[in-house]
Amino acid sequence: MQVQPIVSYKNLFNLPPTSAAAHQHFNRVYYQVQIWLGHDLEPQEWGWIMHHGFLEPTTTILTPAPNDLLNTIFCNCKNGCGSRCGCRKSGLLCSLACGQCNGQACLNASLYQSDINEDGTFDPEILEDLERNVEDENDEEFEIPQRPGDDDEEEEN
């Protein structure tokens, strides 16, 4: 079977979210509204995960698509995977299936190491961190890092 290049590019970001991704989004929205109302909730229980000391949104708890499908979309860019990259035009990050960059040495690679194993399951360490974040019952408050100069604005008000 010969692989044919993608002739027309569809932006996959235009697809509606999966029900699992929508559920995580609704959790984050609910959490934000509750914070605005002055209620104290744990962010890790409402669509956020602690990653390297920072809160990051949990976009979904499922893989975006079966790996067989994701591995059919790839590029063969020779120079950095810029604006002409087939993966980028499809709205995807480069993956291990990409011919030259292998999803690692290009401008369209993921900034973080993938949390998903080759068999489509999450890394057990990541799952343990997620479970620990959700089940953690301690009362420590989380801190949101502030940019330099934010304190000056508060003092002026």
How does pLDDT run along the chain (157 residues), one tens digit per residue?
Answer: 666 665 565 666 677 778 888 899 999 999 999 999 999 999 999 999 888 888 899 888 877 667 777 667 778 888 878 888 888 877 778 877 787 887 777 887 776 544 444 455 555 665 565 555 545 444 444 444 555 655 544 444 4
Structural domain of 90: 63-123
d(CA 62, CA 155): 44
Strand partners, 73: none
- Which helix H or strand E contains 150, and what residues bound it? helix 150-156
d(CA 53, CA 71): 32
Residues 6+ apart with CB under 8 A from 35: 41
d(CA 16, CA 37): 29
Same domain, 113 and 73: yes
Residue 113 tokens, joined = 């190491």
Same domain, 68 and 119: yes
Query: What pTM did the predictor assign?
Result: 0.43
Domain presence at residue 114: yes
Residue 109 tokens, joined = 């690679």
d(CA 142, CA 61): 23
Same domain, 70 and 86: yes
Domain presence at residue 78: yes
